[in-house]
Amino acid sequence: MKAIVPVEMIEKKILLIRGEKVMLDANLAELYEVETKMLVRAVKRNADRFPSDFMFQLDKEEFENLRFQFGTSKLWGGRRYPPYVFTEQGVAMLSSVLNSKRAIQVNIAIMRAFVKLREMLATNKDLARKIHEMEKKYDSQFKVVFDAIHQLMTPPEPKHKRIGFL
């Protein structure tokens, strides 16, 4: 059965904030095909279902960092208040609040994306542990090989675009 939303699209919308993998309310609303304010309103009507480890609102500094990262305007368009973010458990709880066929299908796709992300992280940790064990066993002649492997496993530094005319 084909997913209603591609897992790759969902993976791009998962952010790391406060050490948690989360999704923004606006991104979830887009996936569910509802307005953000309607999603937030439904959540607020069911606030007892969303403890702080399921959902939280970004503070002003986090909101500014996010705005800077995505380049949204303060003056025209964009948000006026910090967004709510939902952890994996919060996203799962949304299916009980947003009771539509699309919400259920989107939730299934999102849960699969979170599971895939968790598997990738576990695989990477396992690989790093195995390489570290191999480094202990083999002498310095393999040091160059291990250094190259470590470089490949390290995520690249984000490239900053220059602003202005060249």
| Amino acid 160: pLDDT | 60
DSSP class per residue in 67-131: HHHHT--SSSSS-SSPPEEEEHHHHHHHHHHS-SHHHHHHHHHHHHHHHHHHHHHHHHHHHHHHH
Exposed (0-12), middle (13-18) or buried (19+): which is 56, by Cβ within 10 Å?
buried
User: Distance of CA 38 to CAs 30, 43, 140, Å?
Assistant: 11, 9, 61
| Amino acid 115: pLDDT | 81
| Amino acid 82: pLDDT | 87
Assign domain 7-117 one CATH number from 3.10.450, 1.10.1740, 3.10.260, 2.60.40.
Answer: 3.10.260
| Amino acid 85: pLDDT | 93
Q: Report which of 24, 21, 42 is spatially closest to residue 115, judged by C-alpha positions.
A: 21
Q: What is the mean pLDDT of residues 8-31?
A: 87
Domain segments of the chain as ranges: 7-117
pLDDT tens profile 99-152: 777 877 888 888 888 888 777 777 777 777 777 777 666 666 566 666 777 677
Q: What is the mean pLDDT of residues 7-18?
A: 83
Characterize the bridge pairing of strands 14-17 and 20-24. Answer: antiparallel
Q: Report which of 89, 119, 85 is spatially closest to residue 107, judged by C-alpha positions.
A: 89
pTM: 0.63
> What is the rounded CA–CA span in Å between residue 90 and residue 88?
5
Characterize the bridge pairing of strands 55-57 and 84-87. Answer: antiparallel
Q: Which band of pLDDT confidence, cut at 50, 70 and 90, is reported for residue 75?
A: very low
